[in-house]
Amino acid sequence: MTDFTMSVDADGVATIVWDVKTKSMNVLSLEGWGDLDALIDQALADATIKGVIITSGKPDSFAGGMDLNVIARMKAEAGDTPAKGLMDGLMRCHTILRKIERAGMDPKTLKGGKPIVAALPGTALGIGLEIPLACHRIFAADTPKAKIGLPEIMVGIFPGMGGTTRLVRKLGAMAAAPFLLEGKLSDPKGAKMGGLIDEVVPAADLLARATGIL
């Protein structure tokens, strides 16, 4: 059983669905990172695929964050060099998100590649926002109870998967500060007004809208 699965429609749009069957809300594990990495590689290598949507199999949420046991496992599996194990593990995760961000672009001209968009059915927290921030456009369902943001600071850590850099790049340092330093959370319309996401659409139209720009 894998946490991420992919299907491709007749028009060449690949949809990667994140669905951790054993949990009510998706959390990212080391195995999940591997699943996502393999599917991104597959989508970028397949000439018949013209674009990718990353979404959730949960009807009212995208993800609640990362399984904090990931950090402990990275350290434990490194044996006598836990700090190196943690750094190496984090850099592997950064490589996956950078792969999504570049999406096969020419490294010199930054042209070409395939569009990758995120479609959020609802709540997207922590890594659940950092993955979308690596995508080229973020759509969210108009679900008023959903919360979107980077709450890591509330447990004494910073967003460690590029969220700090990508959010500052997207919003500017001053506008990004409340989300990074206070853990401010927003509903989808507030997230759109704050610049965290690009578009809010009716829940029933979420995937159709995401597909329509690919």
Domains of the chain in sequence order: 4-212 (3.90.226.10)
In the numeric block, the tokens 């340092």 are attached to: 173
Give residues with Cβ within 8 angstroms of 91, minimum separation 6: none
Q: How far apart are CA 150 and CA 163, in angstroms?
A: 8
Q: In the predicted model, is pLDDT for residue 183 greater than 90? A: yes
Would you state the pLDDT for residue 69? 83
Global pTM exceeds 0.75: yes
Would you state the pLDDT for residue 86? 87
Beta bridge partners of 66: 28
Highest-confidence segment of 13-17, 92-96, 158-162: 13-17
- pLDDT above 90 covers a percentage of the chain that reads 82
Q: In the predicted model, is pLDDT for residue 107 greater than 90? A: no
DSSP letters spanning 59-115: TTEEE-EE-THHHHHHHHTTTT-HHHHHHHHHHHHHHHHHHHHHTTB-TTT--B---
Beta bridge partners of 5: 17
Instruction: Decide: helix, strand or coil at residue 34.
Output: helix
Specify the higher pLDDT residue, 157 or 53: 53
The catalytic residue positions are 130, 152
Q: In the predicted model, is pLDDT for residue 1 greater than 80? A: no
